[in-house]
Amino acid sequence: METATAPSMDIRQRNKLKKLDRTNGVDVAIIIFTAALAIIELYPFYNSLLISLVTQGEYMSTPFMIFPKKFSFDSYLIVFLNKSLFSGMGVTTVITLLGVPYSMVLTTLLAYAFNKEFVGKKLMVMMCIFTMYFSGGLIPFYLLIKDLRLIDTIGSLILPVGISIMYLTVIRKYFLSIPAELEESAKIDGATEITVFFRIMLPLSLPILATFSLYYAVERWNEWYNGMLFIRSFNKRPLQLVLRSIIQTTGNALETDDSLQFGIIPYSDGVKMACVVVTMTPIMVVYPFLQKYFVCGLTIGAVKG
pLDDT at 14: 64
User: What's residue 8's pLDDT?
Assistant: 57
Using a 10 angstrom Cβ sphere, with 0-12 exposed, 13-18 middle and 19 or more buried, the burial of residue 91 is buried
Together in a domain, 105 and 155: yes
Mean local confidence (pLDDT), 79-85:
80
Is residue 242's pLDDT more than 60?
A: yes
Q: Residues 187, 240: one domain?
A: yes
Which of 60-64, 174-178, 185-189 bottoms out in mean pLDDT, i.e. has the lowest? 60-64
Which of 31, 50, 74 finishes a domain? 74
What digits encode the pLDDT tens for the residues 223-239?
889 989 999 888 889 98
Q: State yes or no: pLDDT of 251 exceeds 70.
A: no
Taking the C-alpha atoms of residue 147 and residue 39, their distance in angstroms, rounded to an integer, is 50
- pTM of the complete model: 0.75
50 lies in the same domain as 140:
no
Identity of the amino acid at 122: K
State the DSSP code for 119: T
**68 and 116 belong to one structural domain:** no
Q: Are residues 99 and 61 in the same domain?
A: no
> Distance (Å, rounded) from C-alpha 151 to C-alpha 204?
40
* 157 and 44 housed in the same domain: no
Higher pLDDT, 261 or 204: 204
Amino acid residing at 169: T
Q: Please report, rounded to a whole number, the percentage of residues in the chain having pLDDT higher than 90.
A: 15
Give the model's pLDDT for residue 302. Answer: 43
Q: Helix 165-177 vs helix 84-113: angle between axes, to the nearest 10 degrees?
A: 40
Higher pLDDT, 300 or 66: 66
Instruction: Answer for the pair 56, 265: CB distance below 8 angstroms, yes or no.
Output: yes
Q: Residues 91-116: pLDDT tens digits? A: 999 999 999 999 999 999 999 999 88
Domain of residue 148, residue span = 82-248
Q: Specify whether the CB–CB gap between 112 and 175 falls below 8 A.
A: yes
Least confident of 30-39, 228-237, 270-279: 270-279
Give the CATH number for residue 227: 1.10.3720.10
**Residue 220 identity:** R
281 in any annotated domain: no
- Looking at the fold, whether 124 and 222 belong to one and the same domain comes out as yes
* Per-chain mean pLDDT for the chain: 80
Same-domain pairing of 110 and 239: yes
Q: Where is pLDDT greater, at 68 or 195? A: 195
Instruction: Over range 140-153, report the average pLDDT.
Output: 91
